[in-house]
Amino acid sequence: MSRIGKQEILIPVGVKVSQNGPTVTIVGPKGTLTKIFRDDITITIGDKVITLNIKRNDKFSKSLWGTYASHIKNMIAGVQTPYSKKLILEGVGYKSEVKGKEFHFALGFSHPVIVKIPDTITATADKNNIVISGIDKELVGSFTAAIRALKKPEPYKGKGMRYDNEVIRRKQGKKTV
């Protein structure tokens, strides 16, 4: 039994939830999110609550039960207050800036790295602090991870891109005899 899936999801004031077949649409003050769910889970939308139940009692359906509940909770939270992730770029000569809907990075390569920002995400680059925010938690997390993967922090000098609350475990360098 899924502890998360069994719980009822409350629909806050100002948020509208609708279902059209396998598609669930959530409209809130910050925007609209739509997601397609498999038919292994029955999603019942009431006046102020959403309940989820499994159709078949197999392992796969049970695993989706709590996952779908978390997806719906994240969608409801996202249309109320946008999700935000912060990256810090450390290193001499490393720069980041936003030009239109593109990131322009100088990461120590022989060429600038240009990354297109998705339409539903807003991004700012202030000196070496990058803030990525949007209403879709999954998209914000994956885009931030893709940006971080361009120059991961290295353990000797700590140069590279790291999350705001991430601690880089430092290694001791070569010892001279």
pLDDT in tens, 111-132: 999 999 999 999 999 988 999 9
**Do 66 and 104 share a structural domain?**
no
Residue 126 φ then ψ, to 5°: -115, 110
**Domain finish residue from 53, 80, 107:** 80
Same-domain check for residues 93 and 75: no
Q: State the helix-helix crossing angle for 137-148 and 59-80, rounded to 10 degrees.
A: 90
Q: What is the CATH number of the domain that holds 51?
A: 3.90.930.12
In angstroms, the CA 140 to CA 114 distance is: 18
pLDDT above 90: residue 4: no
Distance CA 107, CA 105 (A): 6
Q: Is residue 60 part of a domain?
A: yes
- HSE of 148 in the Cβ direction (CA atoms, 13 Å)? 18
Domain boundaries, position 145:
83-163
Residue 1: pLDDT over 80: no
Last residue of a domain, one of 80, 115, 133: 80
Tokens for 160? 């590279």
Evaluate whether residue 14 is within a structural domain. yes
Helix (H, G, I), strand (E, B) or coil at 106: strand
Q: Please count the structural domains in the chain.
A: 2
Do 119 and 70 belong together in one domain? no
Instruction: Give backbone dihedrals phi and psi of 147, rounded to 5 degrees, phi first.
Output: -65, -45
Of 42, 62, 80, the position where a domain reaches its end is 80
Are residues 96 and 31 part of one domain? no
58 and 109 in a single domain? The answer is no
pLDDT at residue number 123: 95
Assess whether 67 and 20 both reside in one domain. yes
Helix ranges (H only) for 7-109 are 59-80
Share of the chain above pLDDT 70, in %: 99
Report yes or no on 37 lying in a domain: yes
Q: Are 124 and 66 members of one domain?
A: no
Collapse the DSSP code of 66 into the 3-class scheme (helix H, G, I; strand E, B; otherwise coil) and give the result. Answer: helix
The whole-angstrom separation of Cα 97 and Cα 14 is 35
The reply to whether 99 falls in a domain is yes
Domain co-membership, 89 together with 76: no
Predicted confidence at residue 134, as pLDDT, reads 96
- Within 8 A by CB and 6+ apart from 30, the residues are 78, 79, 80, 81, 82, 135
The pLDDT tens digits of the residues spanning 6-60 come to 899 999 999 999 999 999 999 999 999 999 999 889 999 998 999 999 998 888 8
**Is 177 part of a structural domain of the chain?**
no
Residues 6+ away with beta carbon under 8 Å from 10? 48, 49
- The answer on 53 and 30 residing in a single domain is yes
What residues form DSSP beta bridges with 113?
Answer: 105
Q: Is residue 173 part of a domain?
A: no
Average pLDDT for residues 95-110, to the nearest whole number? Answer: 93
DSSP state of 169: P
